[in-house]
Amino acid sequence: MDTSKRTRAQSWKPLKSLKSLQREIAKNKMLFLMAIVIMVWYVIFRYVPYYWNLIAFKDYSYRLGFSGSPWVGLKHFKDAIADVEFRRVFRNTVIISGLKVFIGFPVPVILALFLNEVFQNWYKKSIQTVIFIPYFISWVIYASIMITILSPTDGLLNIMLRSMGKEPIYFLASTEWFRPLLIVSEITKNSGYFTVLFMSALASVDEEVYDASVVDGANLFQRILHINLPGIASVVAIVFIVRLGQLFMSGFEQVYALYSPMVYSVGDIIETYVYRQGIVGGRFDYTTAVNLFGTMIGFTLVIITNYVSKKISDHGLW
């Protein structure tokens, strides 16, 4: 093929792809319309607000406004790192989020693996419904239930303790009990959602391979270890990477609804700290820097975890 023919062939490819795209759009108008709505929502509420993160590098003044406030560079980041209170909040966030990930994450995986072995469909669906319902309850209501149950005066747990001759415990005001309660409530509320997600992934496991393993004499543990777990490894890896990326999003609604000044030393996290200092205290520039600092660490963790996951198991977000 001479040069002119090759050039005409190359110029035809984009036109051919464009016509193919037009046919696809005409064929699936409603799907593309729904996608456009979602994309517009993300642009307006997720990407456009990124511009206002520039306030983290300014000495913001109500009088001067956003554009008129002077640039101060990394001043607020340095102030945050030097602040003893921020270091305490940072430590609490890492501990609470880390415990939620490394203790709470395996629970739905284990539940999904064992529910998958239940052959009576009505029993399996009943358990799924029971553990999934709490996910739809807001943290405000869920916290109210917890406060009622854990009340030091007439809470169910303290009534049981008094009946055994023990002193009542103010659980939500105890620095010893507050973090475990956050972890337990997180697991009981959200595990149902991830269990259903992992069970959906298990449904795609080839039944012929599973039946062949039974014929070969594989026991329950061997089937789970060598068939089921590899079958959902990609979904588990993706969910784990996303959860690590949310390490500095410890659950504002949960903590804010349950904590009090008595447990700030162990329960105050970056999100509640940003709320108090920024929304209540009006330090918008400083708290934007604090929030941006946590976001950058979360993003870095996603990159690193995805890289390691791809190297180890060939599964990742991209």
Together in a domain, 10 and 143: no
Together in a domain, 100 and 161: yes
User: What backbone torsions phi and psi does residue 165 show, to the nearest 5 degrees?
Assistant: 85, 20
pLDDT tens figures, 134-178? 999 999 999 999 999 999 888 888 999 888 888 888 999 999 999
Together in a domain, 33 and 82: no
Q: Which pTM was predicted?
A: 0.82
Together in a domain, 120 and 222: yes
pLDDT of 89 reads 93
Residue 68 belongs to some domain of the structure: no
> Contact, 205 vs 228, CB < 8 A?
yes
Residue 63 belongs to some domain of the structure: no
User: Using CA atoms, how far apart are residues 99 and 105, in angstroms rounded to an integer?
Assistant: 9
Together in a domain, 138 and 98: yes
Together in a domain, 217 and 278: yes
Together in a domain, 253 and 104: yes
Residue 82 belongs to some domain of the structure: yes
Domain boundary, last residue among 57, 82, 101: 57
Together in a domain, 150 and 17: no
**Angstrom distances, CA of residue 176 to CA of 157, 180, 182:** 16, 8, 12
Residue 36 belongs to some domain of the structure: yes
Q: 3-state class of 58 per DSSP?
A: strand
Residue 62 belongs to some domain of the structure: no
pLDDT of 12 reads 47
Residue 67 belongs to some domain of the structure: no
pLDDT tens figures, 232-278? 888 888 888 888 888 777 788 999 999 988 999 999 999 999 999 98
**Angstrom distances, CA of residue 226 to CA of 115, 231, 311:** 17, 9, 20
pLDDT tens figures, 49-61? 888 888 999 998 8
pLDDT tens figures, 61-97? 888 888 888 999 999 999 999 999 999 999 999 999 9
pLDDT tens figures, 6-46? 554 444 455 556 777 778 878 888 888 888 888 999 899 88
Residue 44, domain extent: 1-57
Position 247, amino acid: L
Where helices occur in 43-83 by DSSP H, the ranges are: 65-68, 75-82
pLDDT of 301 reads 84
User: Using CA atoms, how far apart are residues 184 and 144, in angstroms rounded to an integer?
Assistant: 15
The shares of helix, strand and coil residues in the chain, as percent rounded to the nearest 5, are: 80, 0, 20
Residue 315 scores a pLDDT above 60: yes
Together in a domain, 86 and 207: yes
Q: 3-state class of 318 per DSSP?
A: coil
pLDDT of 13 reads 53
Together in a domain, 88 and 7: no
Together in a domain, 43 and 184: no
Mean pLDDT, range 172-194, rounded to an integer: 92
Together in a domain, 139 and 240: yes
User: Using CA atoms, how far apart are residues 109 and 233, in angstroms rounded to an integer?
Assistant: 10
The CATH number covering residue 174 comes to 1.10.3720.10
Residue 108 belongs to some domain of the structure: yes
User: What backbone torsions phi and psi does residue 71 show, to the nearest 5 degrees?
Assistant: -75, 140
Structural domain count of the chain: 2
Query: Pick from 197, 189, 291, 205: which is nearest to 242 by CA?
Result: 197
pLDDT of 49 reads 86
> Contact, 294 vs 56, CB < 8 A?
no
pLDDT of 93 reads 92
Length of the chain: 318
Location of structure tokens 């997720």: 46
Residue 179 scores a pLDDT above 90: yes
Domain boundary, last residue among 57, 83, 99: 57
Q: Which residues contact 186 (CB under 8 A, 6 or more apart)?
A: 100, 104, 251, 254
Q: Which two tokens stand for residue 152?
A: 């030091």
Residue 53 belongs to some domain of the structure: yes
pLDDT tens figures, 192-236? 899 988 988 888 887 778 778 878 777 878 888 888 888 888 888
